[in-house]
A and B are shown apart, each in its own frame.
Chain A
Amino acid sequence: MASISMPESHDWLSESARQRVQRRHAADKRMRLYGLAAIGLAIGLLGVLLVSLILSGYTAFVQTKVPLQVTVSPEQVKPDNLERGNYRKLVRDAFLDLMPVEMSRSEQRDYLSMLSSGAPFLLRDRVLADPSLVGQTVEIMAPLADPMDQFHKGIIPRDVPEEQRRVNDVQIGYYDQLVAEGLVSTPFNWALFFSPDSRFPELAGLAGALVGSFYALLVCFLISFPVGIAAAIYLEEFARKNRWSDLIEVNINNLAAVPSVVFGLLGLAVFLGFFGLPRSAPLVGGMVLSLMTLPTIIIATRAALKAVPPSIREAAFGIGASRHQVVTHHVLPLALPGILTGTIIGLAQALGETAPLLLIGMNAFITSAPGGLTDPATALPTQIFIWADSPERGFVARTSAAILVLIGFLIIMNAIAIFLRQKLERKW
């Protein structure tokens, strides 16, 4: 043992020591730079995504329209059969009134195709909502057809050969005249939020998808919130720790990692195939989504329950509270902020989930907002999927706009989660 000895002394000011300090400082600095670079890259990519979405999507938030003075004549629209009135003719006549010039047949066809084919439906809806309009003159803001809309927004360029654009020179002539008279305007496109889907991009909106997503999330919440919390409470507060509880825990964690398309197949086979529930229904969508949200909520709830200090449980037990009183009076209220945060994040994930909804048919073309849980519907992500698949130019901008709406909802939900956590969480 005598051969081993500590060094006599260490020179903290030697050259090698100084170099070591320098190397350490440099390493610290490098470490920080790597981190900064990673964060910069992440934020940069996010910025690129958002900017490209906004650039391609902002035009969908306004819609090119012309005001039409339509006289709802009782000859075309019979008061006793409002549904079957000839609104098409009324709108055409009103649109032709805007351009009091001689037209050949083909010029007239070109001119009339500048107006959205959906304009008669707008008039019909107005009249159906207020039958007293028959015999009067109403003003409707009629959207222009998609090519004119794109032309007005500058997406279809003017200075290319006629055969390379979907707007011909005759139409441009009429368009310039309409603009000169100050008839063409681009008001905010409320139809994007309040109209259902349509074959015509200038009429298509997200109402059906928003309502469908809302119903699906409602079902998802109603199933996964109580079941998830009950399961987590049982596992955390009541279950004995043994091989079975370990097995359950591993399986729940695995469930959280199962690809969502698998849940969609399960929903297709079980909910639609075996139980015969309706296709494309938000009810089934919500049930499938709740399968995905459940593990998230269970894991978040268990973490929140674990975070409640054991001293609170002991205090309550010590005063003679039973297990369920300890849980309901003390543990659960203290864990609630964490549970709510986890739930909202789980629902936000469910809101963006596409694959399982595709498999149960929530990507159908549906032109009315669902009136109930079993009506066919789309959801936000599947609506994006449908629009992204559509060939019309107008759907390009609308797809980006729909993505922005979806991202907006996700940001709002996450902000609520953060707010709840800040507001309710106790500091120990």
Chain B
Amino acid sequence: MSEVEPMQVSAGELARAAQNAVQAEAQPTAHARVAARDVNVYYGENHALKHVDIDIYNNEVVSFIGPSGCGKSTFLRCLNRMNDVIEGCRVTGEIMLDNQDIYSRDLDVVQLRARVGMVFQKPNPFPKSIYDNIAYGPRLHGIAAGKSELDDIVEVSLSKAGLWEEVKDRLKEPGTGLSGGQQQRLCIARAIAVNPEVILMDEPCSALDPIATAKIEELIDELRQNFTIVIVTHSMQQAARVSQRTAFFHLGTLVEWGETEQIFTKPRDERTQGYITGRFG
């Protein structure tokens, strides 16, 4: 970019962020649902994430922003221990979910992943029917007591994901036949079908067109009523639109985090300032 833009986030979006902040403050009882203390991640010799401390509050949307390779996705994947799957990955420090250390030996990682759902960058529905995509999680964890209860879970999950009206007549059709945006909402419905406490979203809109993106953003806002949401995004506008709090990562460190409005208007760190004004990233 030849010229430095003064601010990439528009005034309207800032107003929205301010409103979000008010909502955040209006919940004085909000306790830290997830608390991370001194989290370090190593990929082999590479120290990918350094000394991260952050609290994630109930019924809030937290967005992680930062340039590529800054560790925001890595940290996100620590929260449901998806990094366990990656070979050579080592995590130190402490991550508490409801005052329970998720890296402790007593905790079953499979249950953790049901409690902390995840939506991925690329929509990845199973190559099964729409119904089976949603029903898979509840079946796995024995959440539904019978066929009718399972039907209800499928309907409620799809409704919450704003997809019910579009797919209710073709639940037996393959989930892979939907459009990209619909697939991503199907994946969100699949995640909420097991009634998680926290939903992690790893750049959920990066493979979608603007209209589908807008729908997902609306959806995230609605889901906030029932879930705690952490979203990694490359779009600062998106962070400003959907989140109450924002955390800025740079080169493997959490530079600063706080209310979204504060991060975008009065960043305390000059690296944050540099990033949100488009000087790098």
Interface residue ranges, A against B (CB under 8 Å): 240-241, 309, 311-322, 325, 329-330, 334, 426
Residues of B within 8 A of A318 (CB): 80, 82, 113, 117-120, 191
Bound CA span A316–B132, Å: 13
B187 near A: Cβ within 8 Å?
yes
User: C-beta contact mask, B101-135 vs A, less than 8 Å → 1, else 0?
Assistant: 00000000011111001111010111100000000
B141 near A: Cβ within 8 Å?
yes
Residue from B124, B140, B194 within 8 A of A315 (CB atoms)? B124
B110 and A311: CB pair below 8 A?
Answer: no
A315 and B113: CB pair below 8 A?
Answer: no
Residue from A240, A311, A319, A334 within 8 A of B140 (CB atoms)? A319
Residue from A313, A320, A329 within 8 A of B194 (CB atoms)? A320
Residues of A within 8 A of B42 (CB): none
Residues of A within 8 A of B125 (CB): 315
A317 and B85: CB pair below 8 A?
Answer: yes
B190 near A: Cβ within 8 Å?
yes
With A241-B87, A311-B122, A314-B120 in contact, do A319 and B127 touch (Cβ < 8 Å)? no
With A315-B126, A334-B127, A426-B127 in contact, do A320 and B87 touch (Cβ < 8 Å)? no
B238 to chain A, nearest CB (A): 21
- With A312-B126, A321-B110, A325-B140 known, 7 other A-B pairs at CB within 8 A are A311-B124, A318-B82, A318-B119, A319-B117, A319-B118, A320-B140, A426-B127
Residues of B within 8 A of A312 (CB): 124, 126-127
A-B contact pairs, 18 of them (CB 8 A): A240-B87, A241-B87, A309-B124, A312-B127, A314-B118, A315-B187, A316-B126, A317-B85, A318-B82, A318-B113, A318-B119, A318-B191, A319-B140, A319-B190, A320-B111, A320-B141, A325-B140, A330-B126
* Those 6 A-B pairs whose CB atoms lie nearest each other, nearest first: A320-B114, A318-B118, A311-B124, A320-B113, A315-B124, A319-B137
B121 to chain A, nearest CB (A): 9
* Main SS at interface, chain A: helix
- Chain B residue nearest to A313 (CB atoms) is B85
B136 near A: Cβ within 8 Å?
yes
Interface residue ranges, B against A (CB under 8 Å): 80, 82, 85, 87, 110-114, 117-120, 122, 124-127, 136-137, 140-141, 187, 190-191, 194
A-B contact count (CB 8 A): 61
- Chain B residue nearest to A325 (CB atoms) is B140
- Chain A residue nearest to B187 (CB atoms) is A315
Residues of A within 8 A of B87 (CB): 240-241
Bound CA span A320–B85, Å: 13
Count chain B CB atoms within 10 A of each CB in A311, A317, A320 and give the residue with the most: A320
Bound CA span A286–B172, Å: 43
A317 and B113: CB pair below 8 A?
Answer: yes
Bound CA span A321–B187, Å: 15
Residues of A within 8 A of B136 (CB): 316, 319, 329
Bound CA span A329–B119, Å: 19
B95 to chain A, nearest CB (A): 17
Residues of A within 8 A of B127 (CB): 312, 334, 426
B265 to chain A, nearest CB (A): 35
B244 to chain A, nearest CB (A): 24
B110 and A322: CB pair below 8 A?
Answer: yes
Bound CA span A320–B196, Å: 10
Residues of B within 8 A of A319 (CB): 113-114, 117-118, 136-137, 140, 190-191, 194
Bound CA span A263–B136, Å: 45
Residues of A within 8 A of B190 (CB): 315, 319
Bound CA span A426–B141, Å: 28
A314 and B124: CB pair below 8 A?
Answer: yes
- Chain A residue nearest to B127 (CB atoms) is A426
B107 to chain A, nearest CB (A): 13
A321 and B82: CB pair below 8 A?
Answer: no
Bound CA span A241–B126, Å: 27
Residues of A within 8 A of B187 (CB): 315
Bound CA span A320–B117, Å: 8
Bound CA span A334–B141, Å: 22
Bound CA span A241–B87, Å: 8
- Chain A residue nearest to B193 (CB atoms) is A319
- Chain A residue nearest to B138 (CB atoms) is A319
B120 and A315: CB pair below 8 A?
Answer: yes
B38 to chain A, nearest CB (A): 26
A129 to chain B, nearest CB (A): 55
With A240-B87, A241-B87, A325-B140 in contact, do A320 and B110 touch (Cβ < 8 Å)? yes
Residues of A within 8 A of B80 (CB): 318
- Chain B residue nearest to A426 (CB atoms) is B127
- Chain A residue nearest to B124 (CB atoms) is A311
Residues of A within 8 A of B122 (CB): 311
Residues of A within 8 A of B194 (CB): 319-320
A281 to chain B, nearest CB (A): 44
Residues of B within 8 A of A334 (CB): 127
Bound CA span A322–B85, Å: 11
A379 to chain B, nearest CB (A): 40
Bound CA span A56–B137, Å: 63
B140 and A321: CB pair below 8 A?
Answer: yes
A14 to chain B, nearest CB (A): 39
Residues of B within 8 A of A316 (CB): 126, 136
Bound CA span A127–B87, Å: 73
Bound CA span A316–B110, Å: 10
Residues of A within 8 A of B117 (CB): 318-319
A334 to chain B, nearest CB (A): 7
B117 to chain A, nearest CB (A): 7
Bound CA span A330–B119, Å: 18
Residues of A within 8 A of B124 (CB): 309, 311-312, 314-315
Bound CA span A330–B128, Å: 10
Residues of A within 8 A of B114 (CB): 319-320
Bound CA span A309–B120, Å: 14
Count chain B CB atoms within 10 A of each CB in A315, A316, A317 and give the residue with the most: A315
B82 and A314: CB pair below 8 A?
Answer: yes
Bound CA span A312–B123, Å: 10
With A241-B87, A330-B126 in contact, do A317 and B140 touch (Cβ < 8 Å)? no
A325 to chain B, nearest CB (A): 7
A345 to chain B, nearest CB (A): 25
Bound CA span A319–B125, Å: 12
Bound CA span A330–B120, Å: 17
B126 and A320: CB pair below 8 A?
Answer: no
A130 to chain B, nearest CB (A): 57
- Chain B residue nearest to A242 (CB atoms) is B87
